[in-house]
């Protein structure tokens, strides 16, 4: 049994129903889910398989999930946008973003 890397409280349980959504395509993959925070960790080979399928479909050719640490700045936490996403989405400091909380996920959208 492995402990969750995110909350460090839960136990990772094997599941076969993790959904990965890539550009509107839904992929069901095997992996592990935390019993405490519900964070999902698709198995590496499953993720790779999904990426190769996604590539064939012409959707997102990048890794599907990136793990980042937040950094502390003043009283708040700062999330740094990965460089490749910055380029792909043509982000800069003048772009306004919308932040939505969806369950335990945070969705960041660039406003145009």
Question: Look-up: residue for tokens 């599907």?
Answer: 64
How far CA 94 is from CA of 88, 91, 108, 112, in Å, comes to 16, 8, 15, 10
Stretch that binds Zn ion, among 7-15, 49-57, 84-92, 100-108 (CB under 5 A): 7-15
Nearest-angstrom CA–CA distance, 37 and 43: 18
Does position 6 interact with Zn ion (CB under 5 A)? The reply is: yes
Residues 28-47 that bind Zn ion (CB under 5 A): 34, 36-37, 39
Residues 81-100 that bind Zn ion (CB under 5 A): none
Nearer to Zn ion, 31 or 51 (CB): 31
Residues of this chain that interact with Zn ion (CB under 5 A) are 4, 6-7, 10, 34, 36-37, 39
């Amino acid at each position: 049994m492995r402990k969750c890397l995110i909350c460090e409280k839960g136990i990772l349980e094997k599941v076969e129903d993790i959904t990965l959504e890539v550009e509107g395509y839904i992929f069901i993959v095997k992996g592990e889910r935390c019993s405490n925070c519900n964070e999902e960790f698709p198995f590496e080979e499953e993720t790779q398989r999904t990426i190769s399928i996604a590539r064939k479909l012409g959707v997102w050719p990048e890794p599907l999930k990136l793990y980042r640490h937040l950094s502390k700045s003043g009283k708040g936490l700062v999330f740094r946008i990965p460089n490749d996403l910055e380029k792909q989405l043509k982000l800069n400091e003048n772009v306004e973003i919308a932040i939505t909380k969806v369950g335990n996920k945070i969705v960041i959208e660039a406003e145009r």
